Structure 1
């Protein structure tokens, strides 16, 4: 099964499981309804930015649409190409582990993910400038950076291609966007 078919099948199933229409998911994610329809039927190549917009609107990690980690689980964005290596899940969070390449001289902006999501990048080669726009972090070979990913953030490789390992940790206690949260009564 091709990546397009795999992503489309999983995306449609997640949307239906969430009780959302095609129009509602398009509205919540900011992805066009036609684009979403073509993704669900496997007729369109998914980009990293589009998949993050959709999975964030569904309150799910990116790996939820990529099924099993494999070299064919490669998605590309404006400047970042990511291959899902591993997905670890316990009762508190799901963590996706990606092998990433950041294109030299390019910058990619990423929209906010679900609340309390964090990202960490371990740099294998090159120098990355990543994180929040108002608090950029630089990391070279053997170095790392860590930032909250529930706010808009970016990845760049100003001095040439960067190779790294990206960890994206999604908490399980946060309900999907658009669903009310239940707050515990204050202690008496």
Structure 2
């Protein structure tokens, strides 16, 4: 089942404000780069219909689709949900932090902060209820994730490894391949995650 942008508020930005930010950012950057809807859809590998609805603010795109569109524009997801800025330091208020995934049993993934793309770092906080799973087809080449479990046990699977990460433990994983996070226990899971896409390393 495709995971969608959260329709509820968890001390953060609600669906309407997230959708408005996404719509405005994608449209602005696409036009600045003089890309047609057809061309951006082709580069991102998403349907033109989804892109049109996203720009209208009427779509409910998954994290995977946001990642594809952002990468095609040379941006980060944080860029298009408005949690980046350009000063040497800036504050992101609690009510501005977007929730970009909601599990079927009430879990959530919040993008706490992020830098601008295409070379970018993002900080996430995930909560997963027992039995919840999130799967991804993979991020751009060279993407790494650093994870730390605050509560419960995280089951992490990539094409090359299966890890059980217990409370207080950390892990590093390449996620430029299919991967998934799961809570296979009977207790709630909370973990933080830093995502790094450093394309400069791929050009050297």
Q: TM-score range with shorter-chain normalisation?
A: 0.7 to 0.9
Match of 1:21 among 28, 36, 46: 36
Aligned residue number for residue 178 of structure 1? none
1:83 aligns with 2:110: yes
How much has 1:133 moved relative to structure 2? 3.3
Residues 17 and 82 of structure 1: CA distance in aligned 2, closer, same or farther (over 3 Å): farther
1:65 aligns with 2:80: yes
Residues 15 and 89 of structure 1: CA distance in aligned 2, closer, same or farther (over 3 Å): closer
Aligned length: 176
Match of 1:47 among 62, 87, 98: 62
Checking the alignment, whether the CA contact within 8 Å between 1:97 and 1:165 is kept in structure 2 is yes
Aligned residue number for residue 8 of structure 2? none
The 3-state SS of whatever aligns with 1:45 is coil
- Runs (5+) with no aligned partner, structure 1: 176-180, 184-188
Checking the alignment, whether the CA contact within 8 Å between 2:124 and 2:193 is kept in structure 1 is yes
Aligned residue number for residue 19 of structure 2? 4
Query: What's the C-alpha RMSD, in Å, of the aligned pairs?
Result: 2.8
Structure 1 residue runs of 4 or more that deviate by more than 6 Å after TM superposition: none
Checking the alignment, whether the CA contact within 8 Å between 2:115 and 2:122 is kept in structure 1 is yes
Checking the alignment, whether the CA contact within 8 Å between 1:115 and 1:174 is kept in structure 2 is no
Aligned residue number for residue 190 of structure 2? 163
Higher strand content, 1 or 2: 1
How much has 1:78 moved relative to structure 2? 5.7
More displaced, 94-103 or 17-26?
17-26
Counterpart Cα distance in 1 of 2:174 and 2:162: 12
Q: Structure 2-normalised TM-score? A: 0.73
How much has 1:10 moved relative to structure 2? 1.2
Aligned residue number for residue 107 of structure 1? 133
Higher helix content, 1 or 2: 2
Checking the alignment, whether the CA contact within 8 Å between 1:107 and 1:156 is kept in structure 2 is yes
Counterpart Cα distance in 2 of 1:119 and 1:127: 17
- Runs (5+) with no aligned partner, structure 2: 1-15, 84-91
Counterpart Cα distance in 2 of 1:32 and 1:50: 10
